Amino acid sequence: MTDQESHLENVSKSAAAIRAACGGGPVPRVAIVLGSGLGGLADKVEAATVVPYRDLPGFPVPTVAGHAGTLLVGRLGGSPVLVLNGRKHFYETNDPYPLRTMIRGVRAAGVEVLFLSNAAGSLRPHIGVSELMLITDHVNFLGLNPLTGPNDDAFGPRFFSMTGAWDPALSERLRAVARAEAITLHEGVYVAFRGPSFETPAEIRMAQGWGGDAVGMSSVPECLIARHCGMRVVGVSCITNMGAGLSDENLTHAHTIENASRGAAAFERLVTAAVPVLADGSG
Ligand code: HPA
């Protein structure tokens, strides 16, 4: 079997397992990818059926603290939701297939909207630690694209537009939810670095010059794969630190997890209120 054939088989087996986890009922319209330190939301999912990634053929098995590696199906804010708790970053692997399988598996099961979340460093003084930022666009500085190699025509076209990739209409719904919940929601451009090192102060100045507002090591590959297969994407960064050189703090992963959990209360409130609004199929 070629890589492509085994990928197709993994996607369809995983999609079947996800449909089975939905107990024969409808598959949620919205899936949420939980970022570093934001996994607490998984505990808020009601009537959850939990499937470990290892039971989903071809899914990534995370290696980083703060990433569980479980898929949940249940309800949030009264609406059906699918939660992907944990993912693999490109600093853990050069293999794009597990991430492709994860995103395309949920797509093939019937999910239409992907809500991406991440921990990120701020590039702007007005975007503070533990605050939230709506992602309106991104810069892919990973040095790779998860869709390189032969195109999988079964999922999407070779070439596709990334204009409006972070869905403007769904983002507008998120802004309205944040206003109604009195949650500060900044907005801006997310610049993805490969990691695993944090950036140098010179790289942070470069990212600022590129029009970036936050930096991180994830979410861009997920967005690319999801847009390729026709999903709508929205996303929020939880700011865990100022970018390197913008404050005196020393950047560590423990610090990321700690500050993400400080921002997690607002994140959880926003997402819980947003799920029913994003699940509405009109517009
Ligand atoms: N840089 C890259 N990734 C991150 C950061 C950062 O400053 N903070 C949290 N994730």
What confidence tier does 135 reach under pLDDT thresholds 50, 70, 90?
A: very high
Residue 127 and residue 237 in contact, taking contact as beta carbons nearer than 8 Å = no
d(CA 213, CA 215): 7
| Count of Cβ atoms closer than 10 Å to residue 2 Cβ | 8
d(CA 181, CA 99): 33
Task: Assign 3-class secondary structure to the chain.
Answer: CCHHHHHHHHHHHHHHHHHHHCCCCCCCCEEEEECCCCHHHHHHCEEEEEEEHHHCCCCCCCCCCCCCCEEEEEEECCEEEEEEECCCCCCCCCCCHHHHHHHHHHHHHCCCEEEEEEEEEECCCCCCCCCEEEEEEEEEECCCCCCCCCCCCCCCCCCCCCCCCECHHHHHHHHHHHHHCCCCEEEEEEEEECCCCCCCHHHHHHHHHCCCCEEECCCHHHHHHHHHCCCEEEEEEEEEEECCCCCCCCCCHHHHHHHHHHHHHHHHHHHHHHHHHHHCCCC
Each residue of 69-114: pLDDT tens digit? Answer: 999 999 998 999 999 998 777 777 788 889 999 999 999 999 999 9
Each residue of 195-254: pLDDT tens digit? Answer: 999 999 999 999 999 999 999 999 999 999 999 999 999 999 999 999 999 998 887 888
* The pLDDT value given to residue 11: 96
Mean pLDDT of 164-171: 98
31-40, 146-155, 171-180: which has the highest mean pLDDT?
A: 171-180
List domains and CATH numbers for the chain.
Answer: 3-279 (3.40.50.1580)
| Count of Cβ atoms closer than 10 Å to residue 161 Cβ | 8
Mutate to test the pocket of ligand 1, among 133, 256, 257 (most ligand atoms within 8 A of CB): 256
pTM of the full structure: 0.95
The residue whose C-alpha atom lies closest to atom 9 belonging to ligand 1 is 120
Residue recorded with tokens 């993912």: 87
Q: List residues near ligand 1 (CB under 6 A).
A: 119-121, 193, 198-199, 215-217, 240-241, 243, 251, 256
Residue 122: HSE in the Cβ half-sphere, 13 Å Cα cutoff: 23
* The pLDDT value given to residue 24: 82
d(CA 169, CA 5): 36
Residue 67 has pLDDT above 90, yes or no: no
Average pLDDT over the chain, rounded to an integer:
92
Mean pLDDT of 165-182: 97
What confidence tier does 66 reach under pLDDT thresholds 50, 70, 90?
A: low
Residue recorded with tokens 């050189």: 245
Residue type, 134: L
* The pLDDT value given to residue 259: 76
Mutate to test the pocket of ligand 1, among 133, 241, 253, 261 (most ligand atoms within 8 A of CB): 241
Mean pLDDT of 36-59: 91
Mutate to test the pocket of ligand 1, among 251, 255, 261, 262 (most ligand atoms within 8 A of CB): 251
**Cα-to-centroid distance, 120 and ligand 1 (Å):** 4
Strands 79-85 and 113-122, bridge-based pairing = unpaired
**Cα-to-centroid distance, 211 and ligand 1 (Å):** 17
d(CA 138, CA 166): 8
Share of the chain above pLDDT 70, in %: 98
